[in-house]
Amino acid sequence: MYELNIKEIRLSKELKQYELANLLGISKSFLSYLENNKSDIKLSLLYKISIVLEVEPFKLVKFRKNKKRSKKTNPQTLILSLYILLNSFYDLLF
């Protein structure tokens, strides 16, 4: 449904992985999991990353088409998707 865009933005800011992890107060290995889309992310951490990288939170997320629809959808994924969608509309309007 979505994938995180953290690595691309981190590299564009010329930050090393361990530097960003230290600024966020998380381990380098957890940041690696996030960057490789192997772990879900809490909205609070997504927001913190956006502050450190100086980007809007929705810029950290890319949507992808999901060919297989699972019967169970993580509620946090739905909230994140709605948040990103609303921010996109807000940017278009203002």
CATH number for 76: 1.10.260.40
55 within 8 A of 8, measured Cβ to Cβ: no
For residue 83, the enclosing domain spans 2-93
Alpha carbon distance 77, 51 (integer Å): 20
Per-residue model confidence (pLDDT) at position 80:
76
Total number of domains constituting the chain: 1
The distance from CA 33 to its chain's CA centroid, rounded to whole angstroms, is 12
Q: At residue 18, does pLDDT exceed 60?
A: yes
Q: Does residue 83 or residue 53 have the better pLDDT?
A: 53
pLDDT digits (tens, 9 = 90+) for 30-78: 999 999 989 888 878 888 999 999 998 888 888 766 655 555 666 667 7
